[in-house]
Structure 1
Amino acid sequence: MNLPSIKQLQYLLAVYKEQNFNRAAESCHISQSTLSVAINNLEELVGQQLIERDNRKLMFTAMGELVVEQARMIIDQSHNMMKLIAADGDVMAGDVKLGCIPTIAPFLLPKLAKKSRTEYPKLRLRLIEDTTAQLMAQLERGEIDVAILALPIDTGNFHVMTVGQDRFKLVAHKQLAEKLSQLTDFEDVPDGSLMLLEKEHCLRGHALEACRLSKTEKIHPFEATSLTTLVTMLEDGEGISFLPDMALEAGLLRNTSLVSLNMPFENATRQIGFIWRKTSFRAQCYRNIGLLAESLMSGQAKSKV
């Protein structure tokens, strides 16, 4: 039985990612004609049409979608095999591409990278910061090995390892905080007073869940792109927000007039999770890194008791 080559599968994945033959060829550093021939040969080999195309657009067939899914796993396994060989079979050696969301990265990654260098000196963490949606897509395409995300989210068929929880706290200007200290129902806050990150950040949804807020008129129209910007806006004294404890512990409110208050709800938290592909050869490596993160988060929690 003739089998597809790794190169053919890589070309197929490039077309799927770019949804365009020209851009796919450029990303593979080959001509469009070379790419087209490779895809045609692959279709002849499997005896199925994988891509429907005309002069203006292309669309993957149902079989094409299935082949793409299998191709991703094969390429992923091939990369893992070569990494394992390069590391002489040591799963805790070599490169690991680790993605993390912006509302966790500044507060956990520096500590994790330092601890990893101490515990696993042969391991090199290549760190990437991006939104949840982008990291999930990169994980699926095999562009990163593992992602650190805030849960709950739909993690599909990926393996999930929870490494800790991060409590939300109410943050406001000192003068406003005095009025809110006895607040038990956030439906009573003034309209337009709740400031949040923009919708691309999962922290927005988690914060709304934490305060159990159902009335959207309470939300301020301004949407911050980062926690730093959000804090700057809160300094004006007109709004409130719900921010993760790990950011506050790292000094996010330092040199400001803002204070943090405990939330009145026990489950006002987000879970921090390590997520990777179930097909990965290096699951033990990712689990070990996750255990380092778990120890860091556990130590942070104990230091506050």
Structure 2
Amino acid sequence: MTLVQLEYIVAVDTYRSFVTAAEKCFVTQPTLSMQIQKLEENLGVKLFDRSKQPVIPTDIGQHVIEQARLILAESAKLQELIAAHKNELAGELKIGVIPTIAPYLLPKVIMNFTSKYPKVQLSIWEYTTEQIIQNLKIGLLDCGVLSTPLEDKSLQEIPLFYEDFVIYSSDNSSVANKQNISVDDINIEETWLLNEGHCMRNQVLNICKKKTAVNGIRSFEYNTGSVETLKRMVDLNAGITILPELSLSDFSSEQMKKVRRFDKPVPAREISLVTHRNFLKRGLINSLKKEILEITPQDMLNSGNKALMETF
């Protein structure tokens, strides 16, 4: 039994395909298949049901693969110990970020991080919360930046900051002439929302104290995963939308005139760095945390006078 063989069975479990697993491991499929077959012969059990497509582990295979992930994680910790001893930060850090945070937080973080740590390669994907959770669990991501809490014991959440929600209003909306607004003032019928699958949609519905929304004043429904599109819909089609505060960073003076604030306690969301419970690359992840906190406004670093919205 070798670490390479364990890497191969974990790859097949992750991608549910011998072909894809071989590509990701940078070997030919016959090489990967031969090594897995040798491991199965050595253990005296079949690890995968090859008759199914996509391929799935057998019952005993699931337990073996789970243990293989732990062994590989412990092996990787040895490399981390050596890197820490040498005070060296290098390697790849795979990050998942929800779309309602990525464009407002990452540009500065990436610029600062890459200038300080030139030997680290950042690989970043914009995913929904569910996609990030799934990819953290199977090892395709090292960490995620997303809204919490997630209520998942297999994950570890490291709170970073607390971001207020604000209202972006057209000139003829029901709240256009108000400055500080109660959550009871929000009319869900005139509110533009992100589509299903985005945690911020659920948070906005929680602000409005509704789990469903009916676009009663419109003759169409527009589904988007983009905060920028929500802004444009208000600018061109009236109504209101609820935005995360960081999205105001590039607003023009005219756009800022359309921003309204909530009365206290202000609806807000907790943004955290999320990892698997047995996460690796601690040095890289801690450095990422430090860079995020350095560019975060001071008033976002504590949750005082904020009403934190549930993620789901």
Give the TM interval when normalised to the shorter protein.
0.7 to 0.9
1:59-99 deviations in Å (ceiling 9; x for gaps): 32233222222323333444454465467632645543333
| 195 and 141 in structure 1: CA distance in 2 versus 1, 3 angstrom threshold | same
- Give the 3-state SS of the residue equivalent to 1:268 in structure 2: strand
Whole-Å Cα distance in 2 between the matches of residues 211 and 136 of structure 1? 26
1:201 aligns with 2:215: no
1:228-268 deviations in Å (ceiling 9; x for gaps): 112111112432211100111x1246654871211246251
1:276 aligns with 275
1:144-167 deviations in Å (ceiling 9; x for gaps): 322211112244412211011001
Match of 1:126 among 112, 122, 127: 122
Greater displacement, 167-176 / 50-59: 50-59
- Give the 3-state SS of the residue equivalent to 1:109 in structure 2: helix
- 1:86-235 to structure 2, matched below 5 A, reads 89-90=86-87, 92-116=89-113, 120-121=116-117, 124=120, 126-131=122-127, 132-176=129-173, 177-178=175-176, 184-186=182-184, 189=187, 191=189, 193-217=190-214, 221-235=221-235
Pairwise CA distance, 1:274: 0.7
| 56 and 201 in structure 1: CA distance in 2 versus 1, 3 angstrom threshold | closer
Greater displacement, 107-116 / 237-246: 107-116
| 125 and 149 in structure 1: CA distance in 2 versus 1, 3 angstrom threshold | farther
Amino acid at match of 1:189: N
Pairwise CA distance, 1:56: 5.2
1:52 aligns with 49
Whole-Å Cα distance in 2 between the matches of residues 264 and 233 of structure 1? 25
| 130 and 71 in structure 1: CA distance in 2 versus 1, 3 angstrom threshold | farther
Pairwise CA distance, 1:200: 3.1
Contact 1:105–1:129 (CA under 8 A) maintained in structure 2? no
**Aligned CA-pair RMSD:** 3.3
Greater displacement, 62-71 / 278-287: 278-287
Pairwise CA distance, 1:275: 1.4
Task: Provide the identity percentage.
Answer: 25
- Which sections of structure 2, spanning at least 5 residues, go unmatched? 302-312
Contact 1:116–1:123 (CA under 8 A) maintained in structure 2? no
* TM-score, scaled relative to structure 2: 0.79
Pairwise CA distance, 1:215: 4.3
